[in-house]
Chain A
Amino acid sequence: MATTSKQYKVIGEELWKGRAEKTNAELFALTYGALVVQLIQDYEDYEEVNKQLEKMGYNIGTRLIEDFLARSNIGRCVDFRETGEVVAKVGFKSFLNITPSVTHGGLPIAASPTRSSTASPAPTIPGATFTLTLDENPLAEFVELPEEALEGGLWFSNILCGVLRGALEMIQMQVTATFISDVLRGDETTEIKVTLVKYLEEEVPVGDD
């Protein structure tokens, strides 16, 4: 039973409302901002800061997924396209109260005639992508990047890419997540592109498969 986009939105909304404790958005933005600034001072290299933010995000993502799974009761996604939908409508909504829009791309989804009840979900070919377009970004509410940061190539909210990578890796998907554009850099939109590298096979204790 395919869950429709609308149903995901509802689930996301309910999860958000169900959270007993919410954080003051400004405190959150200030904390994150202080973190980025400190990293810039410590590393003095914007590429390195991007990397560190991504690593931190990875650490968060690997933990956050447990919370997500524990609370959302979402079933397994049939393909990578559905993963994108769930990430945007349920994931982002329940944690950040924003719903980025999703566009799908990359290689065409494996025309799997066997959409029957086979054991494994119809896998999407590695190379499939989805792009999240954020209309609002709670991390970057009051931020204006200085010249050096713009030239240095800083992706201010790069922690989000790490979170996506970490969370998806815990549920057996290896992905790369990168910013394509950011309004903080003067672009039209803020977009994160997530590309499926491969599905991770569960480690079976017995010899080889």
Chain B
Amino acid sequence: MAIFGLWVINKAGGLVYERNFGDGLPRLTSNEYLVLAGTLHGIHAITSRLSPIGPSSGTKFVLLTSLAESTADVVLQKVYEVYADAVMKNPFHTPEMPIRSEGFDRRITALLG
């Protein structure tokens, strides 16, 4: 299962969490990550008007994987659950702010390696 990276993007399009696994991806500067995340957010906002899926709270999870990866949505589902637990349930975490949670980091490592 080749997962290279995980991004979490808040409602406003800001990147609140990014993590690389292994060295499948070349390193980008943090600025480049922010720009990419913002672009994705814009595209998402437009496409969601064309084909609405389920209800969403506006938070987006982006998983960067190898082409062979077929279980991406299962993994994303689990990431969402970890997010709901470690991030949202921490009363000291301000929603929409960058995620700085050891609990979240730990569980993501356990999940995505």
Main secondary structure of the interface of A (DSSP, over half): loop
A71, A75, A171, A206: the one within 8 Å of B84 (CB): A71
Contact call A69/B57, Cβ cutoff below 8 A: yes
The answer to whether B13 and A119 have CB atoms under 8 Å apart is no
**Contacts A62-B95, A119-B52 given: A205-B13 contact, CB under 8 Å?**
yes
In whole Å, how far is A202's beta carbon from the nearest beta carbon of chain B? 6
Residues of A within 8 A of B85 (CB): 67
- B residues near A (Cβ < 8 Å) are 11-13, 41-42, 45-46, 48-59, 77, 80-81, 83-85, 88-89, 91, 95
Chain A interface category by residue count: 20 to 34
Contacts of A203 in B (CB 8 A): 11-12, 45
Please determine whether B54 and A70 come into contact, CB atoms closer than 8 angstroms. Answer: no
Given the known A-B contacts A74-B54, A202-B48, are A67 and B95 also in contact in the complex, defined by CB atoms under 8 Å?
no
Nearest residue, chain B, Cβ from A63: B88
Give the residue of B49, B81, B83 whose beta carbon is less than 8 angstroms from that of A119.
B49
Contact between chains at B57 and A205 (CB < 8 Å):
no
A157 → chain B, closest Cβ, in Å?
Answer: 20
29 A-B contact pairs sorted by A residue (CB < 8 Å): A59-B91, A63-B88, A63-B89, A66-B59, A66-B80, A66-B83, A67-B84, A67-B89, A69-B54, A69-B55, A69-B56, A70-B77, A70-B83, A71-B81, A73-B54, A75-B54, A76-B52, A76-B53, A76-B55, A77-B55, A119-B50, A120-B52, A170-B57, A171-B55, A202-B49, A202-B58, A203-B11, A205-B41, A206-B42
